[in-house]
Copies of this chain bind each other. A is one copy, B any other.
Amino acid sequence: MASRTDYENFDLGDFTLSGGATLRNARLAYKIYGTLTANRDNAIVYPTWYSGRHWENEWLIGGGMALDPARYFIIVPNMLGNGLSSSPSNTPPPYNGPRFPDIRVQDNVRAQHKLVTERFGIERLVAVTGWSMGAGQTYQWAVSYPEMVPRILPFCGSARTSRHNIVFLEGVKGALTADAAWKDGWYDQQPWRGLRAAARVYAGWGFSQAFYWDQVYKEMGYSSLEDFLVGFWEGFFLDRRDPNNLLAMLWTWQNGNIGNTPGFDGDHIKALRSIKAKTIALPAEKDLYFPPEDEEYAVKHMNNAELRVIPGVWGHFAGGGANPVDTKFIDDVLKELLAS
């Protein structure tokens, strides 16, 4: 897909991160779908996921869908580090490349809150929703701004990154950084070998065992297993996904924990209990790194939450928009939540 410029930038100014660093002249790239009502009461925030760009969220937006631009003002903020918002790849020296500071989910949501309140004057949202790391940001919105967020639908994600999930990501990082061409992040040319290796590591995790058993990739237009590994997975990682950007977002992911919100002293249970939003937690049945058990656990510690499970063999990518059946399932649940 060609690079797209159909978005706007919100100037975050000198944005001090929770870790203490200041990202100077920081920016949040975002795209709007729909029109804000006069009394500003129809906004939904729908953050991006690991390496995703706003246009890769669009499959869940459309006429007749829950996220209908004719009715809602849908804001898709690009995650810091994704190459459009401030990222290792687009920040000028000296904070460029591997010197780009660590970003927490809290920082992302604080930046998004500035956008929502300062640019649009919105005081209360209709809902927040998102896939994967977008689900993590969704939870964070409910913890950071409980009075602003009446409804959340985090799908295929979690409020705190589990240890196993951290280990899965260690494998992705290990493969990418094993390539000497990576040069500790000071590469002139992309470390292609490492990127492709990371893609192959990811391939086993993104879809379930049953997805591969059933050769569902053939329904997606891939002619063989190897064609899927190269065509889908390597292609995915080569689609302008800069290694330092990937590593920055990976750090954000590994360190995801709503308990690190100021006032919660690292206690994610306390943070889960603080959530006021009506919540439908929506993991996928065979998701290998955000398994349903983890969300079952989260829901148990929340006051106004229920668990639904996306059935089927797509695993994590049930929430990626490529399977119409799963998309309809998510859309239906989102409609239900928005109607409540």
Contact = CB atoms under 8 A, between A and B. Distances in A.
A92 interface: no
Interface residues of A, number: 43
A210 interface: yes
Contacts of A288: 209, 288
A176 B213 CA distance: 25
Nearest to A215: B163
Given A162-B209, A170-B229, A213-B294, A175 B201 contact: yes
Contacts of A194: 178
A321 B162 CA distance: 26
A213 B162 contact: yes
- Dominant secondary structure at the A interface: helix
Interface in A208-222: 208-213, 215
Contacts of A167: 200, 203-204, 212, 225, 229
Task: Count copies of this chain in the complex.
Answer: 2
Interface in A157-186: 162-164, 166-168, 170-171, 173-181
B162 A177 contact: no
A167 B225 CA distance: 9
A197 interface: yes
A188 interface: no
Given A179-B180, A180-B181, A201-B201, A209 B164 contact: yes
A124 interface: no
Contacts of A205: 204
A170 B204 contact: yes
Interface of A: 162-164, 166-168, 170-171, 173-181, 193-194, 196-205, 208-213, 215, 225, 229, 288-289, 291, 293-294
9 contacts: A163-B215, A164-B204, A171-B202, A174-B199, A174-B201, A180-B180, A209-B288, A210-B293, A288-B288
